[in-house]
Structure 1
Amino acid sequence: MSQFGLLGKRRFAPFFWTQALGAFNDSAFRNAMVMLAAFQMGLPDREISLYTNLAPALFILPYFLFSATAGQLAEKFEKTRIIRYVKLFEIAAMLLAAWGFHTHNLVLLLGVLFMMGMHSTVFGPIKYAILPQALKPEELVGGNGMVEMGTQLAILIGMVLGNSLMLLAGIGPYAAAAATIGIAMAGYACSRKIPPAPATAPDLEFNWNPFSETVRVLGITRSDRAVFNAVLGISWFWFFGTVLVAQLPIYTKLNLGGDGSVNTLVLTLFSLGTGIGSLMCERMSGKRVEIGLVPLGAFGLTAFGIDLFLARPGAAGHMGLDWWAFLHAAGSWRIVFDLTAIGVFAGFYVVPLFAFVQSRTPASHLSRVIAGNNILNALLIVLASMFGLLLGRLGMSAARIFLVDALLNVLVAAYIFTLVPEFLMRFITWVLVNTLYRVRVDGMPHLPEEGPVLLVCNHVSFMDPLLLMANLRRPARFVMYYRIFNTPLLSFVFRTAKAIPIAGYKEDPEVLQQAYDAIDAALAAGEVVCIFPEGGLTGDGEIAPFRAGVEKILARRPVPVLPMALCGLWGSVWSRRDSMLGRGRLPRRFRARVELVVDAPVPPGQVSMEMLEARVRELRGDRA
């Protein structure tokens, strides 16, 4: 089933529309309020500037004040009930906004904006914590992509509608009020259809002190280094995007020579690109949480951010262009492509990070980790606003600020990938495997979601560990021949993946004993370990007799055993077929079709080497 099929499932569709309508209303109300202040009330420029700069600060302030409390609520109580209360709160806020629109009371409208910030703050931890409860593991990336796409389009449409309705002659405030109240009521109606999502930590001791709880939530967020650095990556995405979007109005006016319609066009391109990139993540990752896309996304953000600067570094030759005239101006399509590509690679960057946080964080802590993520996001958004303002005060043009933003992205990405080399390792693995092969996976749901398990697989080529690494949906510790482990270039991948080198008893008994100890420790910690029981690569394409290593491992640590088979790799340049025939190893099958077949787990008490070998032979069939 494709990710769009989720829109036909009750476990996803009502939540999707609830969150999309909420994002829509946030955007519509904010933009309608700004348009009222800027164009309907005849205020002086200084007062307009005060309100337009105060609005984002008031909206984001609740993230600092209440995110930690919201994280506790989402874990201690049933989530669907909280969502319905939040949507009722939104209806109340929009009723107040209607009165503010009618009376042109900006102080009241700013208060409503603070309320909408509270609405988003409470909904945020639920938004991402409910997905792992509602979706299957193979649906998690697609579901996140759909949510990100829906959010981007909802914000965009809300911005356009909020601006347009408020500018309707004579009835603008009333049209905006009616629309926002109607959308809030529609969101509540959708929330009534969301299935129950039980509390993940019902015994949690609630802490009403938002300041001490914020410190505790940030501590929980930092407890897993990989998850915390993923959160930092998400927060950096918001910094990068805030700097970019904040400069678009002045870039549109001075560098593109465009009017308000061109500003709407460039925002649309960025939003559509992000939606497209988010949806593409599922297909590109093979429905797995593939953090190898994150470095690809970071590279794209920098490459196209730099090209956006190079495409139009100076002032436009003509001013006052509408969107149609802009599209027909020289060099415009390069800018259109750059803005769309930045959005696409933003999707590649942020969707896998959210899915990674959801898949790696225990359910009992996920809402609070998302709350910690929201706090850091808010902090980085504020810093991004100050950063852009500072560069502007220093006389830097919008195009040059794009360049600085893109170059900073290189430094931040390098820092994050150095702290968590797993990101870069997964990228290398993803590129290698998807360049060389087209992989079909059958039976992956047999792999348990948690707990120790021993994988056994036939060994056909030097690429086997990388191929498995790229397709297993849980991180696995691979037991591999120590000479392959020390292969130049690839040794970085194996060491980062915490592979376990092993040697024969006659070669190095100390390495062998260390390998058995490391395997036992990994299984004791609840990890997945993969072993190739043949003891080496096949020399003739057939499965060699399994050695007794698996039985020794199970004697120390009885765990379920999962048989697997790789098919279609014999004859590749990485197998030993050419060596056997005395020929040079030359690639003959680019993007070869291969298959990974996964069987159901076998209880440790039923395992024998003969049974495992026969099962792997059966799984592989006639396709070597």
Structure 2
Amino acid sequence: MVPPMSTSANQFALLRQRRFAPFFWTQLLGAMNDNVFKFAFTVLVTYHVQVDWLPPALAGLVIGAVFILPYVLLSATSGQLSDKFDKSALMRRVKDLELAIMALGALGLSQGWIGVLLLCIGLMGLHSTLFGPAKYAYLPQHLAEHELTGGNGMVEMGTFVAILLGNVLGGLLIALPSDGWLRGTEAVAIASLVLAVLGRVAAHFLPASPSSEPDLRINWNPLSETWHNLRLAHEQLAVFRSLLGISWMWFFGAVFLAQFPSFAKEVLHGDERVASVLLVVFSVGVGLGSLLCERLSHRHVEIGLVPLGAIGMSVFAADLYFASRGLPSVAQQDVRTFLAQPAHWRVLADLFGLSLSAGLYSVPMYALIQVRSPASHRARIIAANNILNALFMIASSVLVGLLLSQGWSVPEVFGLTALANAVVAAYIFGLVPEYLLRFIAWVATHFVYRFERRGDEHIPLQGPAVLVCNHVSYMDAVLLMAASPRPIRFLMDHRIFAVPVLGAVFRLAKAIPVAPRAEDPQAYERALQTAQAVLAEGELLGIFPEGGLTPDGQLQPFKGGVMKILEAQPVPVVPMALGHMWGSSFSRIDGRGHMSRPLRRGVLNRVTLTVAPALAASEVSLEGLHSQVARLLESAA
């Protein structure tokens, strides 16, 4: 396992490191091989080899269903295997299986055995089912928390590049003329075998990934194990809702991917190469969105990007509906003629925008699942995610098929999907306010302040702790939320809940209102008891021990509530200091009323957060804590 403090310059630097590079190429080559073989076989039975039991009109649907069936039936078993055995060893065995499948596929291609090729499609689905949980459970074992977003972004980018290249390569190879020196079926067989060999070579260099639960007894009943895995995920509501959110993203994406050929032909009046252009734009958009996550998240698991992605998915999908309505009916166009029409560039821009947004939406959710799932059950929870993904994609195909059979046009389906995405997103964010809160914090640190963080790696990733910080503005808690990889429950002056908008935000964050003991002793004691319960549950507690906003920009004396909490719950204490906040938006100014001149220093003020290493509870005194925060403020000056 990688040490917690290990770092890499950026996500691309991971490609030079053994803990990531062999894994990246193993998964990319496997995904590419899936798509080369699957797409070539689809083209083969659609255009070249006709069999009565697999009519061309149903070939794509049947092949897709056979490929995805193992995800539904065997993901639960796969998750158990990934938790029980070394993940790298398991991935090597899976790549051995891929070699055997491709050898059988080469035989089927050479002999024209369609039944054998369809069996190979199902076996490749099994290969991907076995690989999936090990893939996502591997990353947290070898990447630090601040590298997970970048690592997942690279994986998602690689997956969609593999899908794109696999479809293009499979289509080109199977179209080779039958009277040439190399027939299309032979070329596909050779390419699939070469990709399988390269994938196995890459897997050979995977570092050890020890079992997270070696004594696990395998439950071979997929139904009961799937239910058990979903219950495990449900124990962490943020994880469970993230599973649903990712599955919805696959529902959303499947609507567009499945309709590209029809959309290109019937709506855009383009040939099959125009459909390929749509696939290229979609794949590039998802890949770039996935890579952007690391830059936009300051290398933390930033789920505040999820609402941003959801908004983009709905906005661009809705505009795609309007952009594609009423396009003039013309003769079938090639790519050059298609791109010469300005109206088509709007269509491509919308498609790129919604796919980029889907990348921003999905990567933080994958990272959150990896970080917050128990290590002993991580692969099984990811297996449950794969099952839900498969079911949602099947539901997408069925519902879209019903709509089209009832006379809906493809643009109307896209418009309905945009509306449904907005409703689903609002529902999920209502159930898990953390997404919305992190989005607010992300917006504040990108468009209100220029937020610089120093030492934020000292905020613990697990276990209870008290975060102690100076209090300068009404936005202090929002800034601390942006810096923390985990939710923070704040003890806050009860009067702040009366501030419009901010009061609603803090209620949403389940902040704990506290009144001065002299003003309301019962409320004071109740707040301390709630704070102790938060720590007992292993959460982070944020405290501003000055008891209110500083009236003059100077650090005020600390009140004794923090020491009372530590007496009952002796947990680590993390000193923090917000610098350059005095006189900025939402702070008091020159001793006058709060926000008397809120934009005095303008928008995008430079603001710093400095975090010191955690102190053991036994080392903490009120005076010492005050001195530590004061020193942090001096260092930020």
Same fold (TM over 0.5): yes
Tell me the CA shift for residue 204 of structure 1: 1.6
Q: Which aligned pairs between 1:365-404 and structure 2 lie closer than 5 A? A: 365-404=377-416
2:534 is equivalent to residue 507 of structure 1: no
Count of residues in Structure 1 that have an aligned counterpart in Structure 2: 624
Tell me the CA shift for residue 583 of structure 1: 8.9
Which residue is equivalent to 1:428? 440
Which residue is equivalent to 1:562? 574
Asked if the contact 1:578/1:584 (under 8 Å) is kept, the reply is no
2:64 is equivalent to residue 52 of structure 1: no
2:277 is equivalent to residue 265 of structure 1: yes
Question: Secondary structure of 1:16's partner?
Answer: helix
Which residue is equivalent to 1:606? 619
Tell me the CA shift for residue 575 of structure 1: 1.4
Which residue is equivalent to 1:617? 630
Question: Secondary structure of 1:331's partner?
Answer: helix
Asked if the contact 2:586/2:598 (under 8 Å) is kept, the reply is no
Tell me the CA shift for residue 254 of structure 1: 1.5
Tell me the CA shift for residue 29 of structure 1: 0.6
Cα deviations by residue, 1:343-400 (Å, 9 ceiling, x for unpaired)? 1100111111111111221111111111111111111111111111111111111111
Which residue is equivalent to 2:3? none
Asked if the contact 2:137/2:378 (under 8 Å) is kept, the reply is yes
- CA 1:485–1:362 in 2, change beyond 3 Å: closer, same or farther? farther
Which residue is equivalent to 1:165? 173
Asked if the contact 1:70/1:125 (under 8 Å) is kept, the reply is yes
Question: Secondary structure of 2:254's partner?
Answer: helix
Cα deviations by residue, 1:255-278 (Å, 9 ceiling, x for unpaired)? 111111111000110110011111
Q: C-alpha separation between the residues in 2 aligned to 1:319 and 1:369? A: 50
Q: C-alpha separation between the residues in 1 aligned to 2:598 and 2:545? A: 28
Tell me the CA shift for residue 432 of structure 1: 2.8
Q: C-alpha separation between the residues in 2 aligned to 1:94 and 1:582? A: 70
Q: Which amino acid in 2 is paired with 1:202?
A: P
Q: Which amino acid in 2 is paired with 1:400?
A: E
Name whichever of 577-586 and 188-197 sits farther off: 577-586
- CA 1:471–1:582 in 2, change beyond 3 Å: closer, same or farther? closer
Tell me the CA shift for residue 100 of structure 1: 1.0
Q: Which amino acid in 2 is paired with 1:591?
A: L
Tell me the CA shift for residue 44 of structure 1: 7.5
Q: C-alpha separation between the residues in 1 aligned to 2:50 and 2:367? A: 47
Which residue is equivalent to 1:68? 76
Which residue is equivalent to 2:149? 141
2:97 is equivalent to residue 97 of structure 1: no
Question: Secondary structure of 2:452's partner?
Answer: strand
- CA 1:46–1:17 in 2, change beyond 3 Å: closer, same or farther? closer
Pick from 100, 103, 113 the counterpart of residue 121 of structure 2: 113
Cα deviations by residue, 1:81-124 (Å, 9 ceiling, x for unpaired)? 00000000011101111111111111100000000000111111
Q: C-alpha separation between the residues in 2 aligned to 1:54 and 1:357? A: 32
Q: C-alpha separation between the residues in 2 aligned to 1:330 and 1:600? A: 57
- CA 1:435–1:315 in 2, change beyond 3 Å: closer, same or farther? closer
Asked if the contact 1:306/1:406 (under 8 Å) is kept, the reply is yes
Asked if the contact 1:98/1:174 (under 8 Å) is kept, the reply is yes
Tell me the CA shift for residue 623 of structure 1: 4.5
Tell me the CA shift for residue 40 of structure 1: 2.3
Pick from 321, 339, 350 the counterpart of residue 333 of structure 2: 321
Question: Secondary structure of 2:554's partner?
Answer: coil
Q: Which aligned pairs between 1:172-191 and structure 2 lie closer than 5 A? A: 172-191=184-203
Q: C-alpha separation between the residues in 2 aligned to 1:319 and 1:567? A: 64
Name whichever of 231-240 and 605-614 sits farther off: 605-614
Which residue is equivalent to 1:228? 240
Q: C-alpha separation between the residues in 1 aligned to 2:521 and 2:595? A: 34
- CA 1:444–1:123 in 2, change beyond 3 Å: closer, same or farther? same
Tell me the CA shift for residue 248 of structure 1: 1.2
Q: Which amino acid in 2 is paired with 1:611?
A: G
Using structure 2 for the length normalisation, give the TM-score.
0.95
2:488 is equivalent to residue 480 of structure 1: no
Question: Secondary structure of 1:440's partner?
Answer: strand
- CA 1:582–1:283 in 2, change beyond 3 Å: closer, same or farther? closer
Asked if the contact 1:570/1:577 (under 8 Å) is kept, the reply is yes
Q: C-alpha separation between the residues in 2 aligned to 1:582 and 1:61? A: 61
Tell me the CA shift for residue 578 of structure 1: 4.2
2:134 is equivalent to residue 126 of structure 1: yes
Which residue is equivalent to 1:572? 584
Structure 1 gap segments, 5+ residues each = none
Question: Secondary structure of 2:592's partner?
Answer: helix
Tell me the CA shift for residue 447 of structure 1: 2.0
- CA 1:319–1:221 in 2, change beyond 3 Å: closer, same or farther? farther
Q: C-alpha separation between the residues in 2 aligned to 1:164 and 1:548? A: 73
2:376 is equivalent to residue 364 of structure 1: yes
Pick from 304, 308, 314 the counterpart of residue 296 of structure 1: 308
Tell me the CA shift for residue 504 of structure 1: 0.8
Which residue is equivalent to 2:86? 78
Q: Which amino acid in 1 is paired with 2:153?
A: G
Tell me the CA shift for residue 211 of structure 1: 2.5
Q: Alignment identity in percent?
A: 48
